[in-house]
Amino acid sequence: MTLQVGVLGYRFMGKAHANALARLPMFFPDAPAVERDVLIGRDEEALADAAERFGFSRTATDWRDVIDEVDVFYNLGPNHIHAEPSIAALEAGTPVFCEKPLAPTLEEAEEMAAAARDADVPAGAAFNYRYVPAIQYAKNLIDDGELGEIRHVRGRYLQDWLADPEAPWAWRMDEDLAGSGALGDLGSHTVDLARFLVGDQQGELDRVSGHCRTFVDERPVEGDDETRPVTVDDAYSAQASFEGGAMATFEASRFATGHKNDHTIEINGSKGSLKFSLERLNELEVLREGDRGYETVLVTDESDPYVEHWWPPGHVLGWEHTFVHENYEFLTAVAEGGEASPNFEDGLAAQRVLDAIERSDQTGEWVDIERA
């Protein structure tokens, strides 16, 4: 059976996932057969151009016309259009893969997760950094007890693309469209990685103290003389705790000059530690019990997660490969009738932490993270 895939969105994430779908049969011969069937968007001219470049058979300007025609629906649009199309597709019995954060608000994320529970088809949340081989390697070390009891989790995601106050306004700077700024766009990744790596040992995050800041209140509109207000955060920081007792610190910024896409995770345990940076994504810094310093592990051997599908040892992978791994796992779950991982419940769990950070910023107090 060939899965007919419909994709909403054809810009940044649309291109990343279209590339992944094209690579699957070449490098993952056991992946389900996929046809890039329909690409969905509003601008007919730009849509037609993207469909030709990305290898889609046809286009549509309304997702309502295709959600019950395709076997899989990818929602890669801006945050404010995550909920309605995804819920409609799930109600039609169509598996859904949705970009992060799951929704602009906790309320919408809860509605999406409820629809996924009722649908009995896979509903995947797009946290692609879980599929970096070095992160999978780190997960195995933690699960095998190599680090002992986890005491500290530190995560930061730093970029500088908005450091210039004259950088143009975009939808990511509008609360109605995005929900939040660096918090949702970048912080959702960090929170998900923290849960993924230590959640089996430490449980869920349960309390948080957060701070959000907007540095530039308005920005110029590209090609126009007007400006528009910035209604989301430019940066956030947070302290948090896990149910199992571990401490966590998180931060993200779009104003961290000198950092292009610097997502780092550090975990300290009673027997060892590890450090990861997305800017050196083939490496993992590992300190084991008895070591005097960190060892740099190059995670490119055939025995390392996913690496056997690619190149000989030492031939490094890149950011785009995480999308291939992510699509492989999700589409395999669709073809085999399994459960997607990460799923909408994971997206909702991350959203609850983001919401708690915002509430803490508003009250200036520690707040409990809501649970179902």
247 & 118 share domain = no
Side by side, which strands form the sheet with 247-253? 295-298, 283-287, 273-277, 262-269, 150-158, 247-253, 235-242, 205-213, 367-368
Span 50-67, pLDDT tens digits: 999 999 999 999 999 999
Which domain CATH number covers 172? 3.30.360.10
Span 247-258, pLDDT tens digits: 999 999 999 999
Strand 367-368 with 123-126, pairing? unpaired
Which domain CATH number covers 121? 3.40.50.720
DSSP 221: P
Q: Please indicate, yes or no, if residue 329 is contained in any of the structural domains.
A: no
Q: Please indicate, yes or no, if residue 335 is contained in any of the structural domains.
A: no
Selection from 67, 50, 55, 54 nearest residue 6 by Cα? 67
Q: pTM of this prediction?
A: 0.96
Q: Please indicate, yes or no, if residue 322 is contained in any of the structural domains.
A: no
Percent of the chain, pLDDT > 90?
A: 98
Span 52-110, pLDDT tens digits: 999 999 999 999 999 999 999 999 999 999 999 999 999 999 999 999 999 999 999 99
Domain of 34 in residue numbering reads as 2-128
Per the structure, the count of domains in the chain is 2
Cα–Cα distance measured from residue 327 to residue 124, given in angstroms and rounded to the nearest whole number: 10
Residue that is last in its domain, among 106, 128, 150: 128
Q: What type of residue sits at position 257?
A: T
Q: Are 124 and 340 in contact (CB under 8 A)?
A: yes
139 & 255 share domain = yes
CB-based contacts of 276: which residues, under 8 Å, 6+ apart? 132, 134, 135, 138, 264, 265, 266, 283, 284, 285
Cα–Cα distance measured from residue 330 to residue 298, given in angstroms and rounded to the nearest whole number: 26
C-alpha distances in angstroms, 347 versus 100, 116, 184, 236, 354? 7, 11, 11, 19, 11
Q: Please indicate, yes or no, if residue 349 is contained in any of the structural domains.
A: yes
| Residue 52, pLDDT score | 97
| Residue 273, pLDDT score | 98
65 & 151 share domain = no
Cα–Cα distance measured from residue 163 to residue 234, given in angstroms and rounded to the nearest whole number: 9
Cα–Cα distance measured from residue 69 to residue 71, given in angstroms and rounded to the nearest whole number: 7
Number of helices followed by number of strands (H, E) in the chain: 10, 17
Residue that is last in its domain, among 128, 163, 194: 128
170 & 87 share domain = no
Selection from 52, 69, 60, 61 nearest residue 18 by Cα? 52
Is residue 228 within a helix (H) or strand (E), and if so which, with residue range? strand 227-229
- Measured in Å, how far apart are the chain's first and last C-alpha atoms? 38
9 & 146 share domain = no
Residue that is last in its domain, among 111, 128, 145: 128
Cα–Cα distance measured from residue 349 to residue 203, given in angstroms and rounded to the nearest whole number: 12
